[in-house]
Structure 1
Amino acid sequence: MSEHTLDSTPLAGKVALVTGGSRGLGRQMVRAFARAGADVAIVSRKLDACEALAKEIEADTGRRAVGFSCHMGEWDAQERLADLVQAEFGRIDILVNNAGIAPVYPSLSEVSEALYDKVFDVNTKGAFRLMAVIAPRMAAAGGGSIVNISSIATKRPMPSELPYAAAKSALEIMTMGFAQEYGPSVRVNAILPGAFDTDIAAGWDPDVVAKEMSHLPAGRIGRPDEIVGAVLYLAGPSANYTTGVLLPVDGGRTAMGR
C-alpha cells in the first residue's frame, strides 16, 4: 500500500488552466498552483490583466505562466482556448472553472431575458463546453483533475441571486455527471465558496457584512487565500480517491439553518 507524504511542490510537472484567473479567488488559485510547482494558463476576457499576472508569477515562482483571453459565454471559444493552451504547454492536467458573473437586478420581475441568458452562458454553458472538450483529452493522456467553482447560493438561495444560484446548481449537477463519465482517470469536483473579501465585496455595505458574518461559526468573512487549501487538495494527488464531491468553503454557513 502506497502512502502520500507532504510535498512542497505536489503539482510539479503539471499544467493548470484557471478561468477567471486574473482577479479575486482565481488570482489566489493561480498563485497557489504555481507555488505548488505547476505551470499555469491564466484565462479571462481581459488579456492585459492575465499577462500582467503571468509576469508576476514567473518572477515570483520561476514557473511558466501565460495569459489567454476567452469569453466563457461563447460555445466555440472553449475549444479554441483548449487548443491554444495545449499548443503552448503540451498538456492540460488541471482545469478550474472559476469564471462567473452574478449581476445585480432590482427585482425578479425586472430580470431581462438578456441578463438571464448571460448568467447561464458564463456560469454554466461555457464551463460545460470546456469540460466536454478537455476531459476526453485528459483521459487520453492518462488522467487529470477538474475543479468547478460553484457557490453556497445553491444551498442558501436568496431572491437577489436566483438566476446565479440556478446556474451554479446546474454546474454542480454537471460536476457529478462528468465525474461518472470520465472516471476513474479524470476526477471532477466542485467547491462552494461563501463570502470572501475580494474586489467584489468592496461594493457591499461593510456594516451589513460584519453583522451577517458575525453569525457564522467562523465569525468573519473569508480571506481570499483561504480558498487555496481546498483547491490544491482537490487538484492534487492527495485527492486521488475524491471525485464527484461538492465541498463548501463558507465559514460554516451551510451548517446553519436559514
Structure 2
Amino acid sequence: MSRLAGRIALITGASRGIGAAVAKRFAAEGAHVILTARTSGGLEETDDAIRTATGQSATLVPLDLRKFDQIDQLGQAVFDRFRRLDIIVGNAGVLEALGPVAQYDPKHWQRIFDVNVTANFRLIRSFDRLLRASDAGRAVFVTSGAATAPYPYWGAYAASKAALEMMVRTYAMEIARSPLKVNLVDPGVVATRLRAQGFPGEDQSRLTPPEAVTDAFVDLADPACTRHGEVVRVQE
C-alpha cells in the first residue's frame, strides 16, 4: 500500500524545484496534495505531471506568502473543505540577493524574512489546529546548512534559516505531547533555481536533482514516523 494513501498534504513553493518534486512524490504515494506558489503556470505544470502519473488532480492555490492574511484564509478554506490537514511542507524560500551585512538592502532583508521565517510562522499559526485534527499530523520545514555554517555575503539568508530552525524546534517542544510530529529537512546541495541564483556559474547537471531528496520528506510525512524536533540532513 502507498505510504501516504488518503493523507491530505499542503506544500508551499510547489511550482518547481524541491516543492514540485515532493508534490509529485506525495501524490504517487497516495496523498491528495494542495499546492501553493506565486505562479499559476508552474503550479499547472506540476498538476499536469501528477495527473499523467496518477490520474488524480491536485488542489492548486496561487498564493503570495508575503500576503499573510491570505495564509489565514487558506487555513479556513482547508478547514471548510477537509476539516483536517495531515501534512504540511514549508518548502518555499527566497535568496533575493547576496551582499555584505553592513551594506545589505533593508528591503531585500525584509523580503527574505517575510518568506523564509514569518510566512512559516503564519502557516504554523493557521494550520496548527488542522494538523492536530489529524490522527498523525506531520509538519516538515526546509532549512539549509547555511543556518549553522557562516559564509560571506550569505548573511541574510543564513540568518533567516537559523531563525526558522529555532522557531520550528521550539514549536516541536511545545506540542511534544500531541500526536503531531514536527521536523526540518536540510536537503543539501540540490539543483534548484535558488542554488543557481547563489552560484550562477555552477554546472547544475552535476548536482543532486530535486527528485533524489524526496525520500526524506516521505519518511517524515509517514504516519509511522516517530522522529520529532530534528534537523534531518539528506546529504552529510
**Aligned partner of 1:246 among 206, 231, 235:** 231
**Aligned partner of 1:155 among 136, 148, 151:** 148
**Seq. identity, %:** 31
Structure 1 gap segments, 5+ residues each: 1-6, 211-219, 253-258
Secondary structure at 1:206's aligned position in 2? coil
Aligned pair count reads 233
Question: How many Å separate the matches in 1 of 2:153 and 2:185?
Answer: 21
Secondary structure at 1:159's aligned position in 2? coil
Kept in 1, the 8 Å contact 2:83–2:130? The answer is no
**Aligned partner of 1:197 among 188, 191, 207:** 191
Question: How many Å separate the matches in 1 of 2:83 and 2:56?
Answer: 15
Corresponding residue for residue 236 of structure 1: 222
Question: How many Å separate the matches in 2 of 1:245 and 1:170?
Answer: 15
Residue 111, structure 1, aligned to residue 104, structure 2 = yes
What does the per-residue CA deviation read over 1:99-149, in whole Å, with 9 as the maximum and x for residues that have no partner?
110122343332111111111110000001111211122213434000000
Question: Which residue identity is paired with 1:185?
Answer: P
Q: Which runs of 4+ in 1 moved over 6 A?
A: none
Q: Which TM-score applies when normalising by structure 1?
A: 0.83
Question: Which residue identity is paired with 2:201?
Answer: D
**Aligned partner of 2:12 among 16, 19, 28:** 19
Kept in 1, the 8 Å contact 2:87–2:221? The answer is yes
CA RMSD of aligned residues (A): 2.0
Question: How many Å separate the matches in 2 of 1:179 and 1:202?
Answer: 32
Residue 68, structure 1, aligned to residue 64, structure 2 = no
Kept in 1, the 8 Å contact 2:190–2:210? The answer is yes
Kept in 2, the 8 Å contact 1:72–1:122? The answer is yes
Q: CA deviation at 1:248?
A: 1.4
Kept in 2, the 8 Å contact 1:73–1:121? The answer is yes
* Structure 2 counterparts to residues 71-150 of structure 1, below 5 A: 71-150=64-143
Residue 141 to residue 200, structure 1, CA distance change in 2 (3 Å):
closer
Q: CA deviation at 1:222?
A: 1.8
